[in-house]
Structure 1
């Protein structure tokens, strides 16, 4: 029998660092989306135009 070498594994802190980076990125993306929506609601003319376009579909 020949001994098999164990595959190198990532340290636990490297895996946690990768997960925290992804969580931070998704959180930042969500915050930017919320700011974009808030910005659109401060432009009433745009919201009226959007509502008119949606209503025209029916």
Structure 2
């Protein structure tokens, strides 16, 4: 009974840990994508600005 309870807690802990990790990983990915898009659009804007004016 004690071992079973321990495994149950461990399972919940791993589940929590996995989802927290996934959440942070996705957040990190979104940040990277956001930075890339920002730089890309900034570059295009700057290029057009420089080219036409």
TM-score band, normalised by the shorter chain?
0.5 to 0.7
Say yes or no: does 1:40 pair with 2:34.
Answer: yes
Query: Paired residues, what number?
Result: 39
Structure with the greater alpha carbon radius of gyration: 1
Q: 1:26 maps to which residue?
A: 20
Report which of the two has the higher share of helix. 2
Runs of 4+ in 1 over 3 A off after TM superposition: none
Q: Does 1:14 align with 2:11?
A: no
CA displacement 1:10-47 (0-9 Å, x = unmatched): 6100011001100000000000000000001111227x
TM-score of the aligned structures, taking structure 2 as reference length: 0.63
RMSD: 2.2
Unaligned 5+ segments in structure 2 are 43-53
